[in-house]
Structures are given as structure tokens and as C-alpha cells.
């Protein structure tokens, strides 16, 4: 039996969870970044 | 762990996280709710289109077109309902868990748009009030408090960071909601008056779907869960309790009402700036004051409003996170102490036509306004424990509803009175800012008076979350 096998599964789970967290943050981060950029563009008029 | 696979899908037990669950999945779930309901702050984007449904020309409303006051009332109803529903449904939320509450919030908020769309199509303002204001307002209240206690339980070591992230979403919601509404109205302009009704339908569906991410990914930690390596601080902070106070007992304590006053003063003062931001900067830095062609235009004023929204968002995260380091009481003393100075400074900067400094000061003020919202749940958790902190927070939000009425009222009364005296420009607003600075002094004193909650209000013996709502 591969001595590394017992720890491989938890490591894979950890990796998957990390990946899920990244996707979850992108789901909310992309619309927020779009909204912030739109606001920032509008705010530039103040400095013209 | 008990087998919960046969429990209904929305049951609280089905949301308990398995061992090893990544807690950083929880803030995005909370943000999915707050980014959606934060659209409420952008409701004013509909003012002109809604006010010209019959005439088709915002500059020339037809007889029978809705007035700005009639339309503005929709937002007021929504904010009042936000506070009332947060107060009324807080204990229910603690009992049923965040998933069911978030689903209810999404149905109310999305459904509110659909009902309001019908009101727009039939040109019936009462249906708009009922849809967006009443039903949508309930969605706002339940949605606003639904992830708060869950986040506090997942992040006992960073309560301010966690709640700051979620409540930051409410500030950011307007930044998404405003351009989204404009884009949708432009898209549907050919098929309906001003494109409002189909835009409402589209937004109702978009938000309903967007919020489902939060509904189905939210998890609560097991009762005995703690972050890896987390040891509750041994440092003595008399304000941080190890006990738990129920929502019913919390409102019997002077600390709850002191915090109510703290939030009321902070929000009322902040709304004073937000409510008047566009006319304020245009009148203070007008062509007459600055010289022909050098005054602040309407487009630049819109940029100022956008900048304030941005700092409202940033302040929610920055100040709330800072409160984890320096303590909640001290951070509110900073909001109020620094706030008094900055509010009192605004009229002087206006008189001296120092535009850049004026904008910077206004941005700092609004960042602390947002910070006040975001730090409140962590302050409540410090004082009353995490047992029913969501429900207590819901009751505290009635201060927001009150401020939502009080703030604009104070501003309009003082500004109208100054106008009647013939004051113009910065002078027309100086009493507004001095009054708001006075309110901040009251807030400062209320925060200063906050002490630890008397142990007689604490629950005796261990508490379970499931018992929280009974």
C-alpha cells in the first residue's frame, strides 16, 4: 500500500474546497468589481 | 453527528457544515444576499423614468404623472419595512437558520420587483408601494440580518472583518443596481414606457436567481466548532461577555438603548450628507461662487455621489476590520469624535471654496457612516453574546428606520429655513452640518456610557441555537 495514500484524499478535499472558495469569491467579486468600476468612471467627472 | 439526511432541505440541521468545511465560503454566500438587496440604495435611478411614464419626457411630466414625492415614498416604505421586519423576524431567523431566511428574503425581494412591475404597467402607485416598498422591504429586512449571526459564529476571531465584508455588500449593491437598471431601461425603452416595467421584471428575476447562490451555499458551524488554533482572548476587555443574553432580555438593558441612540445619531448625520450630496456640492461650488464655467456641473455632482458610495462601501470593511484590533467602543468614539470635527469643518471649507479638501472630508465622513453600520453586529455580539445576536441586531435596525425619516426631515427643514432667510451656497447648508455635528456629540456621549451588561440578564446554563427562537 502506498504510504502516501491515506493523506492524499484529505489533501484533494482541501484543494477542492480551496477551489470552491475561489469560485465563490469570483461569483460575487466580478459583479462588485463591475459596479465599482462604473462608479469610478462616473466619479472621474468630478475631477475634470 | 446525527443523521439529518431525511430532514427537509431547508431545515437548519441540513445546513450544519461537515468537519473541515472552509469557512471562507460563507462570506460570499452572505455577499450574494447583501449585494442584491443593496440595490435599494439605487432606487433613485428610477425617479425620473417613473415620473414620466405618461409624458415620455422626464423634463415635461404630463398631468397624472407621478410626482417625485410620490415616487420617493416607495423608498421610505422599503426602509421602514426593513427595520420593522428585521425586528419582527429576527427570532424566527435564529430558530429556522439562515437558509430558510435567505430564501424568504430572495422571494420577497425578487417578488417585490415583479409586483411593482405590474403597478408600473397599470400606472397604479399603490401597487408599486406594496410591491417594492412593502414586500420588497420585508425582503430587505430579513436579507440584511440573515447572514449576520452565522458570520459571527464562523469568525469569532474576526467578527468585525466578517460582518464588515457582508455589510460592505449592501453598500456595493447600489453600484451594481444603478448601472444595471440604466442598462435594462435602455434595452426595453422601445417596448414599454421608459422601459421601467420590463426592467423591473428582469431585475426581479436576476436578483432572485443571484441570491440563490447564498441560499444554497450558506452553512452554519456545528455548536462545538472553533477555528483551528483559536483560543478566546485572555486579554481583559470588560465589554466582551462570555455569557449570552436573549433578544427579549437585551431590549431591557440600557446598553441596547445606548447602542440604539449611537446608531440613530450616526445614521441620521450620514443621511444628512447622502441625501443632499448632489445639490449640496452644486450649490456650494456654483458658477456664481467659483466663476463662470468653473462651477460643479450636474455630471460632476453625480460623480461626487458615486465617490461617496465608494467610500461608504470601503468604510464598511475598513472601519469594521479595524474594530477587531482596537475595540468597538473606541471605534465608535472615533466615528463621533472625528466626525464632529469634520462635520463642523464642512461649512468652512465650502465658504473658502476648497473643493478638493471638501470632497476628501465628505468621503471620510461617509466612510465612518458605513463603518457605523458594519461595526454594530460585532458590538452587539461583544455585549450580548452570539446566542440571538441576529435577532438583537434586527431590533437595533429600527434605529435605521427612524433615522431614515429623521435625517431627511432635519435636512429639509433647516435648508428650507436658510433659503427663506435668503442664504445661498455653503451658508444655506451650514446649520444642517452644525446640527449633525451636535447629533454626533449625543452619539459620542451615548457610546461613552456603554458598560458591560449586568449578568442578571444572561441566560442561565448552556444555550442551544435551536432553542433560540422559543
Would you state the pLDDT for residue B317?
93
- How close is the nearest chain A Cα to the Cα of B346, in Å? 18
- Residue B5 pLDDT class (50, 70, 90 cuts): low
Residues 6+ apart with CB under 8 A from B438: none
**Which range is most confident: B135-144, B160-169, B173-182?**
B135-144
The mean of the pLDDT values for chain B is: 90
Q: Confirm if B378 and B323 have CB atoms less than 8 A apart.
A: yes
pLDDT tens figures, B192-243: 888 999 999 999 999 999 999 999 999 999 888 888 877 776 555 777 877 8
Average pLDDT over residues B35-57: 89
Tell me which of B11 and B462 has the higher pLDDT: B11
Judged by CB atoms closer than 8 Å, whether chains meet at A38 and B213 is answered as no
Would you state the pLDDT for residue B465?
54
CATH number at B12-217: 1.20.1250.20
Q: Is B304 on the interface with A (CB under 8 A)?
A: yes
CA angle B220, B221, B225 (to 5 degrees): 170
Quote the CA–CA distance of B28 and B165 in Å, as a whole number. 9
Quote the CA–CA distance of B279 and B237 in Å, as a whole number. 45
> Per-domain residue ranges for chain B?
12-217, 247-459
Q: Is A34 on the interface with B (CB under 8 A)?
A: yes
Quote the CA–CA distance of B166 and B363 in Å, as a whole number. 21
Determine the longest span between alpha carbons in chain B, in angstroms. Answer: 75
Neighbours of B390 (CB within 10 A): 31
- Residue B470 pLDDT class (50, 70, 90 cuts): very low
Helix crossing, B136-145 with B68-96: angle to 10°?
Answer: 40
Judged by CB atoms closer than 8 Å, whether chains meet at B179 and A13 is answered as no
Give me the residues paired with residue B16 across strands. B220
Domains B12-217 and B247-459 share a fold: yes
**Which range is most confident: B192-201, B241-250, B269-278?**
B192-201
Give B447's DSSP letter: H
Phi, psi of B2 (to 5 degrees): -65, 150
Q: Respond yes or no on whether ipTM tops 0.85.
A: no
Judged by CB atoms closer than 8 Å, whether chains meet at A21 and B22 is answered as yes
- How close is the nearest chain B Cα to the Cα of A33, in Å? 9
Buried b (16+ CB within 10 A) or exposed e, B333-342: bbbbbebbeb
Would you state the pLDDT for residue B2?
52
CA angle B353, B358, B364 (to 5 degrees): 175
Average pLDDT over residues B113-138: 97
Would you state the pLDDT for residue B345?
96
Quote the CA–CA distance of B278 and B280 in Å, as a whole number. 5
pLDDT tens figures, B377-392: 999 999 999 888 989 9
CATH architecture of B247-459: Up-down Bundle (1.20)
Q: Confirm if B207 and B113 have CB atoms less than 8 A apart.
A: yes
Tell me which of B215 and B148 has the higher pLDDT: B215
Quote the CA–CA distance of A6 and B412 in Å, as a whole number. 69
Would you state the pLDDT for residue B206?
98
pLDDT tens figures, B57-108: 888 888 999 988 888 889 889 988 999 999 999 889 989 999 999 999 999 9
Judged by CB atoms closer than 8 Å, whether chains meet at A34 and B302 is answered as no
Whether residue B468 is predicted with pLDDT greater than 60 in this model: the reply is no
**Which range is most confident: B92-96, B134-138, B155-159?**
B134-138
Would you state the pLDDT for residue A40?
87
Would you state the pLDDT for residue B146?
92
Burial of B356 (0-12, 13-18, 19+ CB in 10 A): exposed
Judged by CB atoms closer than 8 Å, whether chains meet at B29 and A40 is answered as no
Average pLDDT over residues B24-42: 94
- Residue B419 pLDDT class (50, 70, 90 cuts): confident
The residue with cell 467610500 is B311
Q: SS3 of B15, please? A: helix
Q: SS3 of B458, please? A: strand
Judged by CB atoms closer than 8 Å, whether chains meet at B28 and A25 is answered as yes
CB pairs under 8 A between A and B: 86
- How close is the nearest chain B Cα to the Cα of A2, in Å? 24
Q: Identify the H or E element spanning A32.
A: helix A5-43
B178 contact residues in A (CB cutoff 8 A): 35, 38-39
- How close is the nearest chain B Cα to the Cα of A16, in Å? 10
- Residue B3 pLDDT class (50, 70, 90 cuts): low
C-alpha grid cell, residue B235: 486579554
- Residue B257 pLDDT class (50, 70, 90 cuts): very high
What's the half-sphere exposure (Cβ side, CA atoms, 13 Å) at B222? 12
C-alpha grid cell, residue A34: 463591475
Residues A24, B153, B372, B454, Cα dihedral to 10°: 180
Weakly modelled stretches of chain A, pLDDT under 50: 1-6
Average pLDDT over residues B35-52: 90
CA angle B254, B255, B259 (to 5 degrees): 120
Quote the CA–CA distance of B251 and B419 in Å, as a whole number. 41
Tell me which of A2 and B303 has the higher pLDDT: B303
- How close is the nearest chain B Cα to the Cα of A10, in Å? 9
Q: Is B20 on the interface with A (CB under 8 A)?
A: yes
The pLDDT > 70 percentage for chain B reads 96
Residues 6+ apart with CB under 8 A from B61: B51, B52, B54, B55, B67
Q: Is B39 on the interface with A (CB under 8 A)?
A: no
- DSSP notation for B149-185: HHHHHH-TT-HHHHHHHHHHHHHHHHHHHHHHHHHHH
Amino acid at each position: 500500500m502506498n504510504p502516501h495514500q491515506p493523506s492524499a484524499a484529505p489533501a484533494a478535499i482541501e484543494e477542492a474546497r480551496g477551489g470552491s472558495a475561489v469560485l465563490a469569491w469570483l461569483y460575487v467579486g466580478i459583479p462588485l468589481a463591475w459596479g465599482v468600476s462604473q462608479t469610478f468612471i462616473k466619479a472621474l467627472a468630478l475631477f475634470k | 453527528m446525527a443523521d439529518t439526511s431525511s430532514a427537509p432541505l431547508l431545515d437548519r440541521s441540513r445546513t450544519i457544515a461537515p468537519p473541515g468545511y472552509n469557512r471562507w465560503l460563507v462570506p460570499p454566500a452572505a455577499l450574494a444576499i447583501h449585494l442584491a438587496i443593496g440595490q435599494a440604495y439605487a432606487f433613485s435611478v428610477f425617479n425620473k423614468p417613473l415620473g414620466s411614464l405618461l409624458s415620455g419626457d422626464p423634463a415635461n411630466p404630463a398631468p397624472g404623472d407621478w410626482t417625485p414625492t410620490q415616487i420617493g415614498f416607495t423608498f421610505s416604505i422599503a426602509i421602514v419595512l426593513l427595520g420593522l421586519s428585521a425586528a419582527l423576524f429576527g427570532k424566527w431567523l435564529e430558530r429556522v437558520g439562515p437558509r430558510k431566511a435567505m430564501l424568504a428574503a430572495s422571494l420577497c425581494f425578487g417578488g417585490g420587483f415583479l409586483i411593482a412591475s405590474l403597478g408600473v404597467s397599470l400606472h397604479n402607485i399603490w401597487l408599486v408601494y406594496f410591491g417594492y416598498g412593502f414586500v420588497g422591504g420585508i425582503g430587505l429586512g430579513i436579507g440584511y440580518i440573515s447572514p449576520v449571526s452565522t458570520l459571527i459564529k464562523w469568525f469569532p476571531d474576526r467578527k468585525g472583518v466578517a460582518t464588515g465584508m457582508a455589510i460592505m455588500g449592501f453598500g456595493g449593491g447600489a453600484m451594481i443596481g444603478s448601472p444595471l437598471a440604466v442598462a435594462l431601461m435602455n434595452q426595453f425603452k422601445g417596448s414599454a414606457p421608459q422601459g421601467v416595467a420590463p426592467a423591473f421584471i428582469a431585475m426581479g428575476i436576476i436578483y432572485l436567481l443571484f441570491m440563490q447562490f447564498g441560499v444554497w451555499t450558506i452553512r452554519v458551524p456545528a455548536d462545538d466548532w472553533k477555528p483551528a488554533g483559536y483560543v478566546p482572548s485572555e486579554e481583559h476587555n470588560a465589554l466582551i461577555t462570555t455569557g449570552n443574553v436573549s433578544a427579549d432580555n437585551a431590549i431591557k438593558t440600557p446598553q441596547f438603548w445606548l447602542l440604539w441612540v449611537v446608531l440613530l445619531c450616526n445614521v441620521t448625520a450620514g443621511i444628512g450628507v447622502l441625501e443632499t450630496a448632489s445639490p449640496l456640492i452644486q450649490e456650494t461650488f456654483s458658477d456664481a461662487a467659483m466663476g463662470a464655467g468653473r462651477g460643479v456641473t450636474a455630471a460632476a455632482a453625480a460623480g461626487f455621489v458615486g465617490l461617496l458610495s465608494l467610500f461608504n462601501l470601503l468604510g464598511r470593511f475598513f472601519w469594521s476590520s479595524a474594530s477587531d484590533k482596537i475595540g468597538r467602543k473606541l471605534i465608535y468614539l472615533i466615528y463621533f469624535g472625528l466626525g464632529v470635527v469634520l462635520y463642523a469643518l464642512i461649512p468652512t471649507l465650502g465658504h473658502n471654496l476648497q473643493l478638493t479638501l471638501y470632497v476628501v472630508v465628505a468621503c471620510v465622513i461617509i466612510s465612518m457612516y458605513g463603518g457605523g453600520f458594519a461595526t454594530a453586529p460585532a458590538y452587539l455580539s461583544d455585549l450580548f453574546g452570539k446566542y440571538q445576536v441576529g435577532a438583537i441586531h434586527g431590533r437595533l435596525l429600527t434605529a435605521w428606520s427612524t433615522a431614515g425619516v429623521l435625517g431627511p426631515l432635519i435636512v429639509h427643514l433647516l435648508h428650507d429655513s436658510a433659503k427663506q432667510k435668503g442664504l445661498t451656497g455653503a451658508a444655506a447648508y451650514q446649520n444642517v452640518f452644525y446640527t449633525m455635528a451636535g447629533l454626533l456629540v449625543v452619539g459620542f456621549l451615548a457610546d461613552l456610557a456603554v458598560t458591560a451588561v449586568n449578568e442578571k440578564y444572561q441566560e442561565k446554563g448552556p444555550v442551544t441555537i435551536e432553542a433560540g427562537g422559543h
